[in-house]
Structure 1
Amino acid sequence: MEKPASGLPSAGTPTLGIEEEFLLCDPQTGRLSLRNSEVAEAGRELGITLQLELSRCQVETATSIGTHIRDLRDQLCESRAVTADAAARVGCQLIAVGTPFYDPPIDAVTPESRYQRMAGLYGALSDGVMCGCHIHVGVDDRERAVQIINHLRPWLPTLLALTANSPISSGRDTGYASWRYVLFGRWPSSGPPPYFESAQHYEAAVSAMLETGVILDPHMVYWDVRVSDHLPTVEIRISDVPATVEETITLATLVHALVVTANAAIATGETAPAVDQDLLRAACWRAARDGLEGKSLDVKGVRLVTAHQAVRHLLEHVAPALAALGELEQVTASLDTIFDLGNGAIVQRRELARRAQVADVIDECARRTFEGCRP
């Protein structure tokens, strides 16, 4: 296969798919609205398929499979706009945030058999409501998929800091840019994955969790990046659902470029750095706390840098892949905008400080959820 000057493949670009989870709220009170089945039905009438999540106050959208972010840009915009319309038709407000602003009501689990089993076995863990963004990148060989996961591990904290969008919970600032990530860490199969020597090593870890009852099924492997249990993809799932569609597009493009870069490294025999698991977990905690406003733990150099520096290092790492994809200029401009205006967590805190009312923050988040999207 011929390669361009960047050293990246000129063909065989991996496929890309994006899933986003959203909250449903009462537009008058800001409290969670347990009407996901009604919203899904309204969505069907509008021509969109919405998935029900663990809680009745959540819905999930999914794009089709594309080979480039350009294939999915319009879909992401349309799905947010149409889903917001479906929610409004049944008296709900659609919001792209990582955690609800107020505590969820008791017994909010979606009445599907799997979710009910989870509620029975995991108790109060099932009461938590968390909305993430999952990026699927096509990898049809599981051995290579596991190697790609190893190459992605050092960049997980940076992706989390960039998309942090859940600082407010129970009506107050939690002190964390991504409270969702902290809450999600209570599940026994969550967090950054270990460094795996092979696909067999990966499968053995999953089998051990299944055999010991830590998880009900392979879909409960909640690592921040995993091999999909039902698709030929690597799934990156560390991020809060981004506040705006443009931030989702930026995240997905960076992840796509990370996988392309990892593929190129694997092709040359480059081994991924075996970052210490405890250090990586600490770096993810730091990213959840500070987001884009503070420090980031550089797991390769074992030193603190600013979060902005960490994002710039990520951009430098994937710049050849972004150039090959024709997205370097766009992603650079998008990151500059995020640095200037703030990501979801920064905007929420700014709005709360300016108006001092959580209701105003909710309204602003609802507006930004489909900002720039077609009606």
Structure 2
Amino acid sequence: MRSVGVEEELLLVDADNGEPRALATAVLASASREADGQDEVFEAELHRQQLEFATSPRTDMGELAAEIDRCRAEAARHADGLGATVAALGTSPLPVSPTIGFGERYRWLADNFGLTTHEQLTCGCHVHVSVASDEEGVAVLDRIRPWLAVLLAMSSNSPFWQGQDSKYSSYRSRVWGRWPSAGPVEVFGSADRYHERIRAMIDTGALLDEGMIYFDARLSHSYPTVEIRVADVCLDSSTTVLLATLVRALVETAARQWQAGQPPARHGVELLRLASWRAARSGLEDQLVHPLTMRPAPAEAVLHALFDHVRDALEDSGDTDSARELLATLLKTGSGARVQRELLARTGDLSAMVTASARRTHG
């Protein structure tokens, strides 16, 4: 069975008023002291108002869920000593002037990309799924392309930007798309062509290194995995588990299609970009672009189409019932974007909405 690992980026906010706080260094120091030489799960990110953690590779989704909850709770505990907490929000609902992190890499990004770098206080969720080889990994990337926008809609959790309602469900994805290497890509066809294209992109001099390949899905440059990077960080950890479950099944389904000689869909990047825009705009509250027809369809119908597409893989991994239950809960509750707007309507105040989201993040 394929292993799955999850990386989540969390927003560090004041525990009382929800304002982002540049405390990553202090939180990491607290976590490091407690780890005392053992594997550390927390890492710094581009801005000091955010914190990232990475789970271990897991084959059991129950174990993955428990680890995500534990990491979120630990992050909140370390922040608590500094008068802060963590919130699983794709963007800061409150106005913020982000603080670039320390290190030569971050300085290079700020010098070369200017305002684009400074405005990238965004929190995403990356799902890693193991593959047997680069060739299998690229075959998977070629075949999951039409479904990535559906994953974005599922995870949409960033409706607010600098104190305003953006009118999007995932404004994070619109901000992230400003990077020149971000977004959907064409079919590669082979691992050789994938690596050739990566080298050509780096040789332009516009990118620092392979770590700046910000495709919606890519081969990991650190692990033997495909890395699906399209999602917002999810407000509820149960949505993260659903995302990871469906991503693993999507990867397994694509690998089986490749092994059976089934070619990938040839949807052009221009169509995939439109599907991604629609997912970012609508989330689960309106229509999406159906991956099979490239025509509008209700979001619920598109999510059920994804479930049907990966059903055999879910059955084989024993995840069908749990995935069906989590999907039903998501459709009933709505995306994180919908929950944020409902919290704002209930509290009447963005600060109260952020602190309520923080409590929901880790408990």
Fold equivalence (TM over 0.5): yes
Aligned to 1:7: none
Please, what is the CA RMSD of the aligned residues? 1.2
Specify the alignment match of 1:287 in structure 2.
Answer: 279
Residue of structure 2 equivalent to 1:223: 215
Q: Gaps (5+ residues) in structure 1? A: 1-12
Equivalent residue in structure 1 for 2:117, among 126, 141, 145: 126
Counterpart among 50, 58, 61 of residue 50 in structure 2: 58
The answer to whether the 8 Å contact 1:279/1:299 transfers is no
Q: Is the 8 A contact 1:189 1:214 kept in 2?
A: no
**1:139 Cα deviation from its structure 2 partner:** 1.2
Q: CA deviation at 1:70?
A: 3.0
The Cα shift of 1:16 comes to 1.2
Is 1:332 equivalent to 2:324 in the alignment? yes
Instruction: Kindly indicate whether residue 20 of structure 2 is the aligned counterpart of residue 20 of structure 1.
Output: no
Alpha-carbon distance, 1:285 to partner: 0.4
Aligned equivalents of 1:355 and 1:58: distance in 2?
25
Aligned match for 1:143, one of 135, 145, 153: 135
Between the aligned partners of 2:17 and 2:27, the Cα distance in structure 1 is 18
User: Contact 1:23–1:94 at 8 Å: present in 2 too?
Assistant: yes
For 2:95 and 2:357, the matched residues in 1 are separated by 17
Matched residue type, 2:110: A
CA distance in 2, matches of 1:330, 1:32: 35
Deviation digits for residues 179-217 of structure 1, max 9, x if unmatched?
000000000000112211211221122112111122111
Counterpart residue number, 2:93: 101
Structure 1 residues 77-116: aligned runs within 5 Å: 77-105=69-97, 108-116=99-107
TM-fit CA distance, 1:18: 0.8
Tell me if structure 2 keeps the 8 A contact 1:22–1:94: yes
- The count of aligned residue pairs is 358
Deviation at 1:126, TM superposition (A): 1.1
Alpha carbons 1:218, 1:229 under 8 Å: kept:
yes
Q: What is the CA distance between 1:89 and its match in structure 2?
A: 1.2
Task: Choose the corresponding residue for 1:33, options 21, 28, 31.
Answer: 21
- Structure 1 pair 296–349 and aligned structure 2 pair: CA distance change class (3 A): same
Deviation at 1:169, TM superposition (A): 1.3
> Is the Cα contact below 8 Å between 2:47 and 2:101 reproduced in 1?
yes
Structure 1 residue 164, shift from structure 2 partner? 0.2
- Secondary structure at 1:191 match in 2: coil
Q: How far does residue 140 in structure 1 lie from its aligned partner after superposition?
A: 3.2
Contact 2:236/2:361 (CA < 8 Å) preserved in 1? Answer: yes
Secondary structure in structure 2 of the residue aligned to 1:362: helix
Corresponding residue for residue 321 of structure 1: 313
Using the alignment, how far apart are the partners of 1:277 and 1:241 within structure 2? 24
2-side partners of 1:302 and 1:138: how far apart?
Answer: 29
Task: State whether residues 42 and 90 of structure 1, in contact with CA within 8 Å, keep that contact through their aligned partners in structure 2.
Answer: no
Measured after TM superposition, the shift of residue 45 of structure 1 is: 3.5
Structure 2: distance between partners of 1:143 and 1:123: 36
Deviation at 1:44, TM superposition (A): 2.4
CA shift digits 1:57-105 (9 cap, x unpaired): 1110111112232332221111111111011112212000101112332
Residue range with higher mean Cα deviation, 280-289 or 119-128? 119-128
2:190 to 195, 198, 212: 198
Distance 1:132 1:72 in 2: 18
Partner of 1:254: 246
Would you say the 8 A contact 1:308–1:339 is kept in 2? yes
One-letter amino acid of the counterpart of residue 203, structure 2: E
Q: Is the 8 A contact 1:14 1:67 kept in 2?
A: yes
1:337 Cα shift?
0.8
Q: CA deviation at 1:299?
A: 3.6
Tell me the secondary structure at the aligned position of residue 285 of structure 1: helix
Tell me, yes or no, if the aligned pair for 2:130 and 2:225 is still in contact at 8 Å.
yes
Aligned to 1:8: none
Tell me, in whole angstroms, the C-alpha distance in 1 between the residues paired with 2:241 and 2:232: 13
In structure 1, the partner of 2:155 is 163
The residue matched to 1:204 in structure 2 has which SS?
helix
The letter of the residue matching 1:29 is N
Q: Which amino acid aligns with 2:298?
A: T
Contact 2:18 2:352 (8 Å CA) reproduced: no
Q: 1:10 corresponds to which residue?
A: none
Tell me the distance in 2 between the aligned counterparts of 1:295 and 1:91: 41
Separation (CA, whole Å) in 1 of partners of 2:54 and 2:134? 23
Identity, % of aligned positions: 37
Instruction: Give the conservation status (yes or no) of the 8 Å contact 1:191–1:224.
Output: yes
Question: In the alignment, residue 49 of structure 2 is paired with which amino acid?
Answer: C
